[in-house]
Every structure is written in structure tokens, then in C-alpha cells.
Structure 1
Amino acid sequence: MKAKCIWILCLLCTAGVWAQQIVVVAAESLQPIPGVVISNKEKKVLTNINGQADLDVFSDKDTLQFTAPNYRVLKLIKKRINGHTVSLTRFVGLDEVVISASKFKQEKRDVPQKIINISAKEVGFTNPQTSADLLAETGNVFIQKSQLGGGSPMIRGFSTNRLLMTVDGVRMNNAIFRGGNLQNSLSVNPLSLQNTEITLGAGSVVYGSDAIGGVISFYTKKPQLSYKDAMYVKAHTLARYASASTEKTVHADVNIGFKKWAFLSSVSFNDYDHVTMGSHGPDAYLRPEYVETVNGVDFIKSNTNPKRQIPTGFNQFYALQKVHFQPKENLLLDVGLHYATTSNYARYDRLIRYEANQLQWAQWYYGPQNWFMGNLQATKHSKSHVLFNKAQLTVAYQHFKESRHHRKLQSEIKTNRTERVQAISVNADLEKQVTSSTAIFYGLEYVYNRIHSEAYQEQINSGVQQESVTRYPNGATWQSVAAYASLKYKPSDKFIFQTGLRYNQIAATANFEENNRFLNLPYNNTAINASAFTGTAGISWMPNSIVQWKLHASTAFRAPNIDDVGKVFDSEPGSVVVPNPNLKSEYAYGGELGLVLNFNDKVVLDFNTYYTFLDDALVRRDYMLNQATELMYNGELSSIQAVQNASKAWIYGLEVGLRCRFSKNLTLKSQYNLIGGTEDDNGVEVPIRHVAPSFGNIHLVWQKQAFTVASFVNFNGTLQNHKLAPSEQAKPYIYATDKQGKPYAPSWYTINLRTQYQFKNDLAVSVAFQNITDQRYKTYSSGIAAPGKQVIIAVNYTL
């Protein structure tokens, strides 16, 4: 309150002069825009690299015109400029700026790959419950969920450790990212995001290993400086409720800015109860009974409401602290501290398994998923330096913690496994404009991961603990050293050529001596030393104002990580995966052709077709250990499997997007994805696990002044049994049953309505009606059914 009073007093004391110095920002991202021309008929000024400009040369009655490439022209009378910030709006269509393609700002139209951009404004309207739900809103990313605390993205037939995630430019993938489904996207809070970019297709030249199917780049909000003498304070709060999971969310962030220093603090808390599925759909998804444990004794309890999925409730907490320091106009220092944690949350897909007509597990849950990241980024601008015009040095430390706890029905033995990963990364990225038509982007990267893995079995009544086989070899390490360079050649606005090359050296070590007390492996340790060259080349050609062609070819790779080399776990009932020290990198070779038709920003059609060949694919296959094909694991005789370079895969697809602006107030948006692919399974071509069925959405949005209404349909095609991957056919408990009694994934659709009303500039209320027809459905490969009909209410207040 005291800070607020000081701020108001400063505003009153400087009311006569504060409008003379402004900062021009992008309306959606709030990023300062350099090089904006501010003019009247006689005079003009330009904003500097921080978007700042001094308006002293103009009189209060002058009409000022704000002009910048890719932004709509804005005209304002100087004395009517409200506040010290002026916002410019981008054109609809191609004229956007993206960062992820080269780690530096580029016009989206210049990039030969398809990149999806999600702004903070869109997040504020769609109100996604998690970052996974945010990705699903695009219509280009398919989301799988094994439990309510889940959200594993699939892009163009690839998933998990074949997709790369970054937060503020820092690699989030670590050495235990697995081929199974991942929930790490949930650690990123969508309410703290400034924008999100999704690169569809390979990104190995810039990002290295794992970036085969795509790159998901989260950029959190940045502290804003004050561009006047008074302190700049801005605060935002949100409260949200969703009926199907009884979600209760609160969020707050506050920005305090001075001339050279700025601080941003953000916190969020989400609480979810057991989620209720819809009424109309397969009965196979219902939850007729569940296990309840009382005083160490398991009871099978009848579910009074079979649509209620027990247990699925959990909660999560996220905190962000950022500091921005600008000692000079051309030097910026940014510090970010991120912390995310959850409560325990049940792995629902395991808890619905039956064995001999009885539920198999009494307990199967993940412990808190913890993530901490501290990063420091120094950015230097220079117009004359021989090596760069802009240079960034990013140093980051991350700590990941996850655990798994499970006990079979009526068993007194509970197995507990805990994993921790410490990750250090250093990135140096530079941009140099060599000539007016040629720019180069280049850099160096070093990544180091160390894994700590623990396991024990616990007697639930006596509490006696006994050591057990760990999921990963304790103390294992994974390192990556890389150098990359990219060239952008733009002789005219109609033609752009980009190419790049990266060299990567990967080293991994693992010691199995501790686990050999239980497994009797024929080796005690392993070391992997692998190298990889990857390249990319593409063109963007605009022969006229309507047509844009994009052609892109690339190679990408994924080096074996510790999850591939050293994991021990039960992959499915009756099977156990053991370490394999004889692995090499898998390679992907891909091509993409895109066509954009832009009819005066009124109708925009976007077509993309792609093809990817994956060679030496790392897949799970049957394996022999000490000449044996079976071993005892967790008290059960299990078939032995291991990750091997034993497959090839072919993936292809078509993406069609439409944006139609019927009037100033009414817009239609739609996205459709068709994906296919097969992989080699011991000489037989079979469907690929992460190739999703056809999916997409249709949005009709009406907006007038402060009121926005969006009606939309989400839809998903059918995957018949013969199109399910063998690993999916082996999980009938998560699927519906066809007429032959075989598992399959039915098609589904939902009808939805979302509204928002903005009261002046400080209060906004959103109400959404989701799954209005109360469909009972699961997204492909998901263990949990999606929410039935629900109402989501959110209240935003900005100070």
C-alpha cells in the first residue's frame, strides 16, 4: 500500500511532463519496439533499442503518427496519450516476430518452418488450466494425459524425448527424459508467460539433441523499466473456478520498475479435486470401483458416481522472481528464479488396470514433481563490433525431482523410487548483420547433467525398509558440447534463404555396480561418446502480396541419454526393461513444403505438408541378458526388454489452417491435422505409437469494444484397432472396445462457448462453457477421460 501511495504521488507531481517521454511496445507481447518513427508534418523522432522516445519536440496539440514495419499505423494527439506507454498492433497473418528459430528476433515470414505464436493476451482469454492445455488450444499440438496431473505433447508424430522444451531460452530436457509420456510441461505456469512459440519440425541446428519433431519455447514475463522519473508499478491478479474438477486457482504478479532496475514477482496456486467425465460415450471409461486402504487393509469400494474418476485430485504451486538491470542503453542483465511443485498425484491409468477380474494396484502415485531453475542472461548490443551486433550469454542451473510409489492390491510391500537431476547449461549466442542482405547467427553450448537415483521397499505395517533396484544408475552423468552457425540471406523482401550447420559431441557415463546386486548384469559400467552433424536449409519466397511458398529440409538427431542407456523399470505387465550399453544416436531426415495465401488479411489459408524418415530409431524391443529372456523383477517373472537401435520410421502429414475475417468484429479460425506413419518392427511395418489420429478445431470469434465471444468445436478422428501401435494394443484398459472386442480409439467432438468482458482497463470477467453436450471421451493414448460439461469462471484485475 505504501508503494502504491508513493507511485500515485509521483504521478501527480510529474503530471505536466511525464507524457513527454514514452516507450512504444507491441500490444500483445508488451515488448519494446525499436525504430518506430513518430512524426507529424514537420518533425520526427525514432524510438531507441528499448522502444523509448522523447516527445519534447512536439506540442501538446500535435497529431503524432506512429509507424513501424509489420505494425498498424497509429495516430494520437500528444496530449491525449494515456500513460507513458503506447501500444502498436501487428498486422494479421504473416507479419509477426519470432525468436525460437534462431534465438534472435526475426520476422515470421522469413522463417522457412511453420511456427505457432501464442501471446499473453490469448492466454488471458482462453484461460488454460495448464501449459499442456495451452498447447492444445493451438490445434497443432496433440496432448496425451495418463492422469489429471498430466499433459504430454505430440507434434507431427513425435513426443516426449523427441521434442525439445525450453524456458526463457534454457533447455528443459534432461538426461532422464523418457520415451514414455512426460508431464514436465506442467511445471511451467501459463499465467506467467509472455509468449509461447511452437516450432513444428526439426530444430537440431539451433537446439541440438531431442529437437526432432519440434521445439516448444516458453518465454516468461519480463520486468518492465520505468521510462520516466516516477516508479512504475503494475499488478495483476486472477481467480478461477472450473466445475468438472472443482478447480480453484489464484494468481498474482507485480512489476516494479525504475530507470535502470525492474523487478517482477509472480505466484500461482491450483487445487483440483477428482475430475468428472461426460455422460455420453463408451461405458469402458467409467470408474465403477476403486481401492481404499484403511489401517493397512485394502478394500474395493463401489463408486457411487462412476463418472467421477477417483483418485485424480492434486494441487500445484508456482513462483517466479525476475530482476532486470540496464546499466547502459546497450547492456542488459536479467536474472530469473523459477520454482514449481505439486502434491502427490495418482497415476490413474495404472489404477484402472485389472488382473484376474480384480483391480491390480492398491497404490500407484507420483510424488511431488519439483523443478527449480535459476538463470542469468547478459545481452550486449553493438552497431560496430566486428563479431556481433547482438550477443547473449545465458548461464542456468536446474534441479528436477520426481518419484514413483506403488503397491499391489493386498500386498504389504510398497516400492518407492526417487530421482533427482542437477543440470548446468551455458549458452553463448551471437547475431551479426554482415551486409544489408546477409546475417549470421552462431553460438556455443555446454550442458551437464548428473543423476541421483534411490529406491527402497517398505513394509507398510512395520515400516521396515529394504534397499531395492534403482530406476537409474546412481551418479550417472550426461554431457553435451556443441557449436552451430546459421546464415540468413535476404536480397529482397520477396526471397529469403536460410541455412545452418551444427556439430555436437555427447558423452555419457553410468555405473551399474549397485544395481548388479539385484540384476547380475554382465557389465558394471558403460560410457557413450557420440558425435553428430546436423544441417538445415530452406527458402521463403513471396512472388506477390498474396502468395508465400516455404520449402525446408533438415537433419536432426537424438543422442542416447541415461533413460535409454541405464533405466530399469516395468514397461508393461510382465515385462522389465534393463540397461543396454551399446547404443548410438538416432537420426531424422525431413522435408517440409508450405503455402500461405493471404488475401488482404481478410482470408489467410495456410497449407503445410511434411515427411520425416527416422533411422536407427531407439525403440524398446525384446532382449537377452546372460542368455536368458526372463528375470524376476518386483516378485514377478518378467520378459526382458531393452532400448535398442532396432527400427526405422516413416512419418508424413498435412496441416491446413484458415483465418477468415468477415468484418471488423467477426473472425473464423480453423486448424486441421492429418498424420500417418509406420515403423519397422522386426521386418514388419506397424503403426507408430505417437502418431495421433486426425484432429483440429474451428473457432468463430466475435469482438466489439470490451466484449468478446468465441464459439468453438474441438474434434478428433477414429483410430481403429489395426491402426494402433502394438504397444497401445497391449493396453486395452485405457481404450474403448469395438464390435470384435478389440481396443480402439473412438472419434469425438466437443462444442464450447467462451466469453470475456473488459470493464474499463482494470477488471475483466471470463466465463466458459466447455463440452456443452457432455461427451465422454479420451484423447488418444490417454489413461484418463476428459472432463464432461463444465463451467469455468475467471476474474482478472489489473492495477
Structure 2
Amino acid sequence: IVGLTYRSFGDITIGSNWDPKVNFPNIGTTIGRSGYEYFSGNLKTQVSLAENQTFTLTAQYSRIPTVARQDGIIQGYGSNVASVELGFSPQGRLFVLGEYKATFKNTWLDELRFQLGYQQVQDDRFQRNFSTRPSFPNYSLGVTSSNTSLESNISNLIGVTSVAKSTWGNNRFTYGVESYFDKVNAARNIRNDVTGTTPDPNGSRYVDGSTFNQYGVFVQDEILWTPQFNTTLGIRYSAVDVNVPFSAIRPGTSGFKTSFSAVTASASFLYRFIPEAELVFNIGQGFRAPNINDLAAVGERRASDINIPNPSLNPEKVFSVDGGLKWNAANFSGEFYGFWSNYSDRINSVSIGQQVNSDGSISQLLQTRNVAKLTIWGIEFGSRYRFAPELSAFVTGNFTYGEFPIFNETSIPPFNGVIGVRYEPNPGTYIEPYLRYATLQARLSDLDLTDRRINPNGTPGFGILNIRAGLPISSNTTLRLNLNNLFNTSYREHATSIDGPGFGVNIGIDAQF
């Protein structure tokens, strides 16, 4: 199987009721430099080695040549425009995975898998600031810096896993081991309009040659107690080794090795009390070791703030409970879930002060730290009711709440979801009007209040009406039409850099060969 994709996105045109100060220096509804190109390809092939053995090769590649970061080149809810240019060039990902699979009969072993994978992620960046920042409405008063920062950040990851499955009575076991080896190569140069390109005296975003290695051993037992009731029990040992080489540029925050490990467990319960409905309950522990970005990243954070490394971080741990009801009947299907998560040593960004820049502007100094305990809970639901074989209605909703204090927990979304109807007179032929909605989010953390992407009075709620439709034009080809934001409404998703697109039309053709 081979797939190729090319996409070209033009500059975004926002809704009609736009704020000229927030979108400055754009002077209309079109957001300049918001368009970009996207290339991707994928390959998957499978070879039968024997009656019960296969080898599968999967390869994926994607690339965005250049894309701007809008939070730095528009004023937003800040007091000025920080950068003339800010973005990624390029962003890319290469992924290759080989898998050997063998299945067995009449033995204690049902299945065996070996996987070997490689992933390279490229995250190159550019940034050219103003030496004197302009503010609405006088963009011409900005003075462009003569320096452009050029970053190269590449992660090379190798992963090896081995997983086996076996059945003993009513128990189905899954157990395995895994290892991941990640190495980061980084460099940062300064290109001066007069003197040319030289290494940045402040060093790269990450210390070149830093490594982040992960190891895991796990076992899971699925137990079928009765046809109506089953449980899944799991336990895992995780270990992480981090090595940040010494850098003379930052002697106090480099040249260290650290290791973390933890044993975590989980349990899931499912009870089908009638054929159409089941209750689900899950309880578990989580463990996240601080990564290289948490421990040792230096440089710009958000639009114009500065990150200070913290090599003294501890792992983040979480205890979570979730559960709910699933229903799947002839005319009605739906689910309702609730979750509760309690974090200890939560890893999050904290403002540790301010820096006054040479032009008088202020940058927040941010550092990743282990904050106090934090509790987040919420509900999620979705349902569809079929009035007739060709007509149905659906609704979804998501609500998340961070309990006080939330001074370090950023960007908690508001209540949001989708409501719509679908008319499908024939298989593959459909029309589906639907409304995307979100309520006001006015519960902001201290860090949210310093984020130029977020309205300090809260992100207003919105309702966006859209229509999507499909029409088969042959046995293997379908014409699709999307009408987005029919009333050209101005809106913004919480904690995003720009307003959402205004009215738009998308036409596509799906063809299978």
C-alpha cells in the first residue's frame, strides 16, 4: 500500500467581527503568513514467511517546509508585536517500523511480536525580533533587529519491543519488554545582516548530544469471569536515563546524568448488565519522567518569554479514576464518562520573574518545576438517536475542571462539543448540518494572564454552524463538500494564537483503487 499527500493551505480569513488591535499588524480579515504547504507519503507492505509468520514494513514521511508562529508576529492580547519573523523551517518526521509476527496453535503461546523502529523528528526554527517593538496602530515605528536566530533541532529515536500473548483458562496474558533510545542534536546560529552567520554565543536550545533512554517491562491479565463480567489487571516497571553533556556556555545547567524509575499498576472492570449496555470502571497510576525539554531547554518560550533550564526536576505522578456507561441499542447509542486525576509533583511551567529588554519591553522568565498537588476532573458524553433509518441526531460534550489553586495549570478548555443531525437517504449519500460550540472560559491561571494568546477577561464562547455532505459518483469514488462557519462568525478556540477561520468551502474526492 502506497499513499502520497500534498496540501496547500492559503492564508486564513477570519470572521467579520474582528478586533484590529488583537490581529495587528493585519489590517483586514486575512491573517498574513498563516498559510503553509504539507507533503507526506506512506508505505506498508507485508510478506508471509510461513503459514503462521509474517513480516510487515511500515514507512511514513511528512514535511512542512515553512510555517509561521502567529503568536509572535501579531500583537494578540499583549502590548506589542515581538517578532518580525518567527516560525519553523522545516518541520519533518521520518518513521520506519519493521514487525515480525508469529501465531501458534495448541501451545501455551498464542502470539509473539518483535518490533524495531526508527523515528527522526526535525524541528528547525527561525526568529527575527524587533529591537524596538511596534504597538497598535503604528507598525511603522518598529525597528527591525539586524540579527536572525537560526536553530537546528533533530531527535533520532530507536525503539525495540517484544510482546507475547498467551491464554490459560479464562486468563489472557499480554507481557513484554521495550526500550527506546533518543538522541538530540542541536545547534543555533545568528545571521547578522552585515557580518554574516556565526554560532550563537548563548548556545543551542538543547545541549548537543543529549540522550533520553526509556525501558519498560509489563504484564497484563484479562480475566473473563462470566460472559457479562471481565477485568483487566496490569503492572509495569518503567526506568529512564537522561544524559546532558557538559557545555561551557551553561556550566550550571549541563554536564549531568540522572535516572528515574517507578512501578505502576492499573485495573479495569467491565460489567454488561443487559445486552445493550455496560458499565466500565478504571483505576490506575501514571508516571512521567522529566524529559530533555523539561530539564535542559534554553531560549524563547511562547511568543517572547524566556525559558530557564531546571536539571533538578522529579518525575510527575498521577492517580486516576474514570468510569461510565455505554449503551448500544437499535435506535440509540451513547456513552457517558467521568474522570478524576490527582497529580503529585506535577511538571509545569512557572513564572519566576521578569526581564526588561533593551527596548523597554518585558519578557516573562519561565522555568519548568514540580508544582504542588493538582486535581483535574471532568465529564465526557456523546450520543446518537435514530428517528428513522435515514435520519439521526447526535450530540457530544466535554467538560474539564482544574481545582484551585490553578495558578500553574494552563489552558484548561471550556465546556465544548458538537450538536447535529444527519440525513442519509442512500448508502454513502448524506447531508449533515452541525453546530460546534464552546462556552466562556474565564477561569484563568496566573500564567494564562501573561499569555498574549489569551484574553485576560476570558475566552468568549461561540457557536459555529457547518454543513458537510457526500455523494457517490461511482462505485469507488465519492464527492465530498464542507461548508464551514456559514454565518462568518468571529470566534477563537481557547489558548490559540489567532481567531478561527470565517466562512469557507472545501471540496474533495475520495477514490479507492
Equivalent runs, 1:527-566 vs 2, <5 Å: 527-566=257-296
Q: Does 1:421 align with 2:144?
A: no
Q: Distance in 2 between matches of 1:470 and 1:556?
A: 32
Q: In the alignment, which residue of structure 1 is the partner of 2:369?
A: 644
Match of 2:390 among 654, 665, 669: 665
Q: Distance in 1 between matches of 2:310 and 2:298?
A: 10
Offset of residue 796 of structure 1: 2.4
Quick one: structure 1 residues 540 and 362, their matched pair in 2 at CA, closer, same or farther if it must change by over 3 Å?
Answer: same
Q: Distance in 1 between matches of 2:346 and 2:358?
A: 27
Quick one: structure 1 residues 616 and 735, their matched pair in 2 at CA, closer, same or farther if it must change by over 3 Å?
Answer: closer
Q: Does 1:340 align with 2:62?
A: yes
Give deviations 1:594-642, integer Å, cap 9, x for gaps: 11234x3311231111100010011223559xxxx97999999866542
- Name stretches of at least 5 consecutive residues in structure 2 with no aligned partner: 131-143
Q: Does 1:438 align with 2:171?
A: yes
Offset of residue 273 of structure 1: 1.3
Q: Distance in 1 between matches of 2:393 and 2:338?
A: 22
Q: What SS is found at the alignment partner of 2:12?
A: coil
Offset of residue 337 of structure 1: 1.4
Q: Distance in 1 between matches of 2:386 and 2:424?
A: 11
Quick one: structure 1 residues 526 and 288, their matched pair in 2 at CA, closer, same or farther if it must change by over 3 Å?
Answer: closer
Q: What SS is found at the alignment partner of 1:522?
A: helix
Equivalent runs, 1:95-106 vs 2, <5 Å: none
Quick one: structure 1 residues 663 and 687, their matched pair in 2 at CA, closer, same or farther if it must change by over 3 Å?
Answer: farther
Give deviations 1:532-571, integer Å, cap 9, x for gaps: 1111101100122243111110101111110011110233
Equivalent runs, 1:294-373 vs 2, <5 Å: 303=27, 306-353=28-75, 359-373=81-95
Offset of residue 499 of structure 1: 0.8
Match of 2:414 among 693, 699, 717: 693
Amino acid paired to 1:561: N
Q: Distance in 1 between matches of 2:404 and 2:105?
A: 50
Q: Is the Cα contact below 8 Å between 2:177 and 2:218 reproduced in 1?
A: yes
Equivalent runs, 1:104-115 vs 2, <5 Å: none
Quick one: structure 1 residues 276 and 746, their matched pair in 2 at CA, closer, same or farther if it must change by over 3 Å?
Answer: same
Q: Distance in 2 between matches of 1:536 and 1:526?
A: 33
Q: Is the Cα contact below 8 Å between 2:72 and 2:304 reproduced in 1?
A: no
Give deviations 1:452-485, integer Å, cap 9, x for gaps: 0100111024434243321011100011111000
Q: What SS is found at the alignment partner of 1:621?
A: strand
Q: What SS is found at the alignment partner of 1:690?
A: coil
Q: Is the Cα contact below 8 Å between 1:768 and 1:793 reproduced in 2?
A: yes
Count of residue pairs the alignment pairs up: 498
Equivalent runs, 1:376-387 vs 2, <5 Å: 376-386=98-108
Offset of residue 798 of structure 1: 2.9
> Which protein is richer in helix relative to its size?
1
Q: Distance in 1 between matches of 2:220 and 2:122?
A: 35
Q: What SS is found at the alignment partner of 1:320?
A: strand
Q: Does 1:730 align with 2:469?
A: no
Give deviations 1:647-692, integer Å, cap 9, x for gaps: 3211001112111121211122211111101364xxxx53731321
Equivalent runs, 1:207-222 vs 2, <5 Å: none
Q: Distance in 1 between matches of 2:160 and 2:470?
A: 42
Quick one: structure 1 residues 408 and 498, their matched pair in 2 at CA, closer, same or farther if it must change by over 3 Å?
Answer: same
Q: Does 1:778 align with 2:492?
A: yes
Match of 1:582 among 312, 321, 344: 312
Q: Distance in 1 between matches of 2:302 and 2:437?
A: 30
Q: Distance in 2 between matches of 1:679 and 1:414?
A: 41
Q: Distance in 2 between matches of 1:710 and 1:632?
A: 52
Q: Distance in 2 between matches of 1:337 and 1:556?
A: 30
Give deviations 1:761-784, integer Å, cap 9, x for gaps: 122111111111111111110002
Offset of residue 525 of structure 1: 1.1
Higher relative contact order (CA 8 A, sep 6+): 1
Equivalent runs, 1:179-194 vs 2, <5 Å: none
Quick one: structure 1 residues 749 and 574, their matched pair in 2 at CA, closer, same or farther if it must change by over 3 Å?
Answer: closer
Q: In the alignment, which residue of structure 1 is the partner of 2:198?
A: 465
Offset of residue 369 of structure 1: 0.6
Q: Does 1:569 align with 2:299?
A: yes
Offset of residue 795 of structure 1: 1.7
> Which protein is richer in strand relative to its size?
2
Quick one: structure 1 residues 356 and 797, their matched pair in 2 at CA, closer, same or farther if it must change by over 3 Å?
Answer: closer
Q: What SS is found at the alignment partner of 2:447?
A: helix
Q: Is the Cα contact below 8 Å between 2:411 and 2:448 reproduced in 1?
A: no
Q: Percent identity?
A: 17
Match of 1:510 among 244, 251, 256: 244
Q: Is the Cα contact below 8 Å between 2:71 and 2:497 reproduced in 1?
A: yes
Amino acid paired to 2:421: L
Give deviations 1:155-186, integer Å, cap 9, x for gaps: xxxxxxxxxxxxxxxxxxxxxxxxxxxxxxxx
Amino acid paired to 2:233: T
Match of 2:350 among 613, 621, 635: 621
Q: Is the Cα contact below 8 Å between 2:24 and 2:75 reproduced in 1?
A: no
Q: Distance in 2 between matches of 1:363 and 1:757?
A: 43
Q: In the alignment, which residue of structure 1 is the partner of 2:141?
A: none
Q: Distance in 1 between matches of 2:431 and 2:180?
A: 46
Quick one: structure 1 residues 275 and 461, their matched pair in 2 at CA, closer, same or farther if it must change by over 3 Å?
Answer: farther
Match of 1:482 among 216, 223, 226: 216
Q: In the alignment, which residue of structure 2 is the partner of 1:451?
A: 184
Q: Distance in 2 between matches of 1:565 and 1:491?
A: 46
Q: Distance in 1 between matches of 2:282 and 2:67?
A: 42
Q: Distance in 2 between matches of 1:332 and 1:633?
A: 63
Q: Does 1:395 align with 2:395?
A: no
Q: Distance in 2 between matches of 1:272 and 1:467?
A: 33
Q: Is the Cα contact below 8 Å between 2:177 and 2:216 reproduced in 1?
A: yes
Give deviations 1:23-72, integer Å, cap 9, x for gaps: xxxxxxxxxxxxxxxxxxxxxxxxxxxxxxxxxxxxxxxxxxxxxxxxxx
Q: What SS is found at the alignment partner of 2:448?
A: helix
Amino acid paired to 1:716: A
Quick one: structure 1 residues 580 and 307, their matched pair in 2 at CA, closer, same or farther if it must change by over 3 Å?
Answer: same
Equivalent runs, 1:95-244 vs 2, <5 Å: none
Amino acid paired to 2:309: P
Q: Does 1:702 align with 2:423?
A: yes
Q: Is the Cα contact below 8 Å between 1:511 and 1:526 reproduced in 2?
A: yes
In the superposition, the TM-score normalised over structure 2's length comes to: 0.91
Q: Distance in 2 between matches of 1:560 and 1:784?
A: 30
Q: Distance in 1 between matches of 2:78 and 2:307?
A: 24
Q: What SS is found at the alignment partner of 1:686?
A: coil
Q: Distance in 2 between matches of 1:762 and 1:479?
A: 46
Q: Does 1:792 align with 2:506?
A: yes
Q: In the alignment, which residue of structure 1 is the partner of 2:468?
A: 754
Q: Distance in 1 between matches of 2:398 and 2:416?
A: 5
Segment of structure 1 superposing worse, 615-624 or 326-335: 615-624
Quick one: structure 1 residues 526 and 369, their matched pair in 2 at CA, closer, same or farther if it must change by over 3 Å?
Answer: same
Q: Is the Cα contact below 8 Å between 1:604 and 1:660 reproduced in 2?
A: yes
Root-mean-square deviation over aligned CA pairs:
2.4
In the superposition, the TM-score normalised over structure 1's length comes to: 0.60
Give deviations 1:276-333, integer Å, cap 9, x for gaps: 01114x525763535xxxxxxxxxxxx3xx1100111110100112221013231111
Quick one: structure 1 residues 692 and 456, their matched pair in 2 at CA, closer, same or farther if it must change by over 3 Å?
Answer: same
Q: Is the Cα contact below 8 Å between 1:767 and 1:792 reproduced in 2?
A: yes
Quick one: structure 1 residues 635 and 330, their matched pair in 2 at CA, closer, same or farther if it must change by over 3 Å?
Answer: farther
Q: Distance in 2 between matches of 1:514 and 1:316?
A: 39
Offset of residue 510 of structure 1: 0.2
